């Protein structure tokens, strides 16, 4: 069955594929589904940071207070980093925890915004959507495709993207120098798309490996503005004005 475009007809966030109906819920049930999600996610992020030392070449376990601060800040999309990521956490934590939370925290923000719009528009029902359906749509239909394209563009501009970690080389005066590396471009794309503050390096986009030239900087500004510019337009489409 062909996809149904329902964004203008009933204020749906995206079209639904097939004929299986999506069960919408009231604001109270949506809140009940949304509220425990950050707590469970932050607990998962905290535990894996503490277990980091079990992985080969992933570094030492993160200090418990630092791990707790990082878990809460990344899950709530504030992304306050009280550590140097390139030396404190390994590639596994960067990819499976921090980058994933960049997606999920962004998606939750979009879902809440869409639920608010539905609540404003609808007057004959108290149902404002399904949190889990909207969350998957925001993450997989919006954020992930744009982030993949963004990462490819960033790689083309010269941003680092590898799995070699820190490389050791001899400097001009014979002194050994450590050059950090990792999957920077892929994390940079979702960091900017969701206006997250946590970068792969402590210097964030001021680091030359994370933002090497004017082209990467211009595209970074574009990614930052995509969602803030799109949501007001989405609001207009959903309310029919």
10 lies in some domain: no
Q: What are phi and psi of 4, to 5 degrees?
A: -100, 130
Are 220 and 205 in contact, with CB atoms under 8 Å apart? yes
14 lies in some domain: no
Distance CA 29, CA 23 (A): 12
8 lies in some domain: no
Sequential pLDDT tens for the chain (241 residues): 333 343 333 444 444 444 445 666 676 777 777 778 888 888 888 998 888 877 545 678 888 999 999 899 888 888 888 888 888 888 888 888 888 999 999 999 999 999 888 888 877 777 778 888 999 999 999 999 999 999 999 999 999 998 887 777 777 777 777 788 889 999 999 999 988 888 888 888 899 999 999 999 999 999 999 999 999 999 999 888 8
Are 216 and 158 in contact, with CB atoms under 8 Å apart? yes
Identify the residue whose tokens are 């869409």: 114
Provide the pairing of β-strand 127-129 with 176-179.
Answer: unpaired
Overall domain count for the chain: 1
16 lies in some domain: no
Q: Decide: helix, strand or coil at residue 84.
A: coil
Which of 21, 29, 183 shows the shortest CA–CA distance to 96?
183
Q: Which domain holds residue 105?
A: 25-239
232 lies in some domain: yes
4 lies in some domain: no
Burial of residue 91 (CB within 10 Å: 0-12, 13-18, 19+) is buried
1 lies in some domain: no
- Token readout for 129 is 């959507």
208 lies in some domain: yes
Which of 61, 80, 60 shows the shortest CA–CA distance to 70?
80
Distance CA 212, CA 207 (A): 7
């Amino acid at each position: 069955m062909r996809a149904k475009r329902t964004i203008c007809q009933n204020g749906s966030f995206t079209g639904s594929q097939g004929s299986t109906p999506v069960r919408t819920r009231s604001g109270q049930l949506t809140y009940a589904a949304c509220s425990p999600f950050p707590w469970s996610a932050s607990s998962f992020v905290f535990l894996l940071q503490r277990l980091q030392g079990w992985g080969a070449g992933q570094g030492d376990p993160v200090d418990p207070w630092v791990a707790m601060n990082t878990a809460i800040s990344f899950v709530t999309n504030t992304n306050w980093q009280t550590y140097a990521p390139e030396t404190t956490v390994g590639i596994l934590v960067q990819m499976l925890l921090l980058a994933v939370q960049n997606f999920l925290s962004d998606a939750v923000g979009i879902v809440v915004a869409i639920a608010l719009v539905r609540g404003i528009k609808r007057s004959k029902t108290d149902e404002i959507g399904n949190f889990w359906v909207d969350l998957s749509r925001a993450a997989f239909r919006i954020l992930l495709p744009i982030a993949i394209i963004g990462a490819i563009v960033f790689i083309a501009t010269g941003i680092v993207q590898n799995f070699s970690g820190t490389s050791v080389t001899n400097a001009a005066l014979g002194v050994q120098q450590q050059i950090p590396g990792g999957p920077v471009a892929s994390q940079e794309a979702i960091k900017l798309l969701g206006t997250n503050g946590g970068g792969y390096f402590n210097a964030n986009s001021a680091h030359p490996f994370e933002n090497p030239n004017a082209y990467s900087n211009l595209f970074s500004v574009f990614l930052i503005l995509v969602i803030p510019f799109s949501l007001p337009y989405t609001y207009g489409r959903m309310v029919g004005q």
